[in-house]
Chain A
Amino acid sequence: MSDVSQPAAHPPVTDWVHDFDHTDPQWTDDPFPIWDQLRAASPVVHTERFLGCYMPTTYEAVREIANDTEHFSSRRIIVRDVRPEVARNAAPPITSDPPVHKPAKQLLLPPFTPDAMKKLEPRMRAICNELIDGFIADGKVDAAARYAKYIPVQAIAHMLGIPESDSDLFINWIHMILELGIKDESKLLQAVQEMSAYFTTHIEQRKNKPTDDLISYLMNAKDKEGQPLEESHVLGSLRLLLIAGIDTTWSAIGSSLWHLARTPVDRERLIAEPALIPTAVEELLRAYSPVTMAREVVKDTTVSGCPVKAGNMVLLSFPAANRDPKMFPEADKVVIDRRENRHAAFGLGIHRCVGSNLARMEMQVALEEWLKRIPDFALDPAGTVTWSQGTVRGPRQLPILLGKAM
């Protein structure tokens, strides 16, 4: 076991099937051949790392686990080196199990319906165009850092009613929780504390002066018994909305632009047939799903015939499920007009992403506005594309040359 007080250096992986590690640089750079290798070995593989962790490798095994809340708990949703005590109201409903999950989820759903997202759409188009205005004359741009990143940040800041100018603060917290926090507990705790203090200030302000935003919405929400939510629940859900709403969609937009920069034929088709963009978004979500979740095994069971023991974590890789050729013909190919696409990018079962309608709207708008103004673009051969590590995968540096910009 590693010393929990220090960020542990993980030894490089030499045997993926028995010793996988989703923080290994090889996984970060190109996970797809690794997943194929694991899937060929077994529907469920195991590693001794992270104090013991399984990974389902097929779509079916991922579905079984996502639908089995009796044996698999959501109280821990990030696979990390350590397993500190679970905080109550960590980030409901994503960290909740039945029966408390449903009421916590139902509170968050109404502000995120497709109709609610339609009202946000004009603001999103304006945000995208303002961002494009900022770099279009330069001839090149880091599309991850200057475009993809700011679209979800500004959207969620707008919905929560917090200043869009605090974006860099949010991004730093997310980096500390989702990346550094895997190996360094203190970074995670620091970020959680800072976020709680930040939101507490905003809650206090609204006590005298209520606003028309998600913070006031949660402050005024009532539980099943008609009582206001505990402040820790409000804070937990606010942390969740901020964390879950940003680098996920940032990654999805970034990966989509990365694909289109390298694939002129798909780009040209979407410019000629913009009505195909929503279908293309689904396929890009399938092929480059950003989010890997986790569960904790709380009772022994079997998954796809494989024994699974309590006390282990589960790396619930929706991205790997979405590359399963049994479920998706030509799974490793981006088929931009794929007609049948039951992809699991937003999860399966009761924990389906509460922001899926928001993410889809942001992706469609981000691609539509970009393609309207920048129909021709390519990766900058002088630059390097880098990918985030761990729980959420997407480009963090995406140097692009803008050709024939309009």
Chain B
Amino acid sequence: MTERLRVRVDPDKCQGHARCKALAPELFELDEYGNAHEAGDGIVPPGLEDKAWLAKSNCPEIAIDVIEE
């Protein structure tokens, strides 16, 4: 019944503003240049759904997708 969420960062759009890492540190990682990618397989653990949406809606480059599976 409950949908599972998955986050994904588009590496071609990400410019390293790092807003996602500040707002949802559990869901995103930064590389040595400070550019973001999703942590692990991007699956959002239960309870962190709000943070996933918050990260998406604060990315200045519109680089984050939240996929409902």
| Interface residues of A, Cβ cutoff 8 Å to B | 106, 109-110, 112-115, 278, 282, 339-344, 346, 348-350, 352, 356-357
Given A113-B30, A113-B34, check contact A343 B60 (CB 8 Å): yes
A113 to B31, CA, bound (A): 9
CB of B53 to closest CB in A, whole Å? 9
CB of A27 to closest CB in B, whole Å? 25
Which residues from chain B contact A346 at a C-beta distance below 8 Å?
A: 17, 60
A340 to B64, CA, bound (A): 14
Given A106-B33, A109-B34, A352-B15, check contact A114 B21 (CB 8 Å): yes
CB of B43 to closest CB in A, whole Å? 23
B28-47 CB contacts (< 8 Å) to partner A: 30, 32-34
Which residues from chain B contact A357 at a C-beta distance below 8 Å?
A: 18, 34
The residue of chain B having its C-beta at the shortest distance from the C-beta of A338 within the complex is: B58
A352 to B16, CA, bound (A): 8
CB of B44 to closest CB in A, whole Å? 18
A340 to B16, CA, bound (A): 18
Main secondary structure of the interface of B (DSSP, over half): loop
Which residues from chain B contact A356 at a C-beta distance below 8 Å?
A: 17-18
The residue of chain B having its C-beta at the shortest distance from the C-beta of A348 within the complex is: B60
29 example contacts (A-B, Cβ-Cβ < 8 A) are as follows: A106-B33, A109-B32, A109-B33, A110-B32, A110-B34, A112-B34, A113-B30, A113-B32, A113-B33, A113-B34, A114-B18, A114-B22, A114-B30, A339-B54, A340-B57, A340-B58, A342-B57, A342-B58, A342-B60, A342-B62, A343-B60, A344-B60, A348-B15, A348-B61, A352-B15, A352-B17, A356-B17, A356-B18, A357-B34
The residue of chain A having its C-beta at the shortest distance from the C-beta of B58 within the complex is: A341
A343 to B34, CA, bound (A): 19
A110 touches B58 (CB 8 A): no
Known: A282-B58, A346-B17. 18 other contacts (CB 8 A): A109-B33, A110-B32, A110-B34, A113-B33, A113-B34, A114-B21, A114-B22, A114-B30, A278-B22, A339-B54, A342-B57, A342-B60, A343-B60, A348-B60, A349-B15, A352-B15, A356-B18, A357-B34
| Interface residues of B, Cβ cutoff 8 Å to A | 15-18, 21-22, 30, 32-34, 54, 57-62
A189 to B58, CA, bound (A): 40
A113 to B17, CA, bound (A): 10
A342 touches B34 (CB 8 A): no
A282 to B60, CA, bound (A): 12
CB of B59 to closest CB in A, whole Å? 7
A346 to B15, CA, bound (A): 11
CB of A364 to closest CB in B, whole Å? 10
CB of B60 to closest CB in A, whole Å? 5
Which residues from chain A contact B61 at a C-beta distance below 8 Å?
A: 348-349
Q: Which of A112, A113, A344, A356 has the most CB of B within 10 A?
A: A113
Ranked nearest first, the 9 interchain pairs of A and B with the lowest CB-CB distance are A109-B33, A352-B15, A113-B34, A340-B57, A342-B60, A110-B32, A114-B18, A109-B34, A341-B58
A113 to B30, CA, bound (A): 8
Q: Which of B18, B57, B62 has the most CB of A within 10 A?
A: B18
The residue of chain A having its C-beta at the shortest distance from the C-beta of B34 within the complex is: A113
State which of A114, A278, A344, A350 has its C-beta within 8 Å of the C-beta of B34.
Answer: A114
The residue of chain A having its C-beta at the shortest distance from the C-beta of B21 within the complex is: A114
The residue of chain A having its C-beta at the shortest distance from the C-beta of B57 within the complex is: A340
CB of B13 to closest CB in A, whole Å? 9
CB of B55 to closest CB in A, whole Å? 11
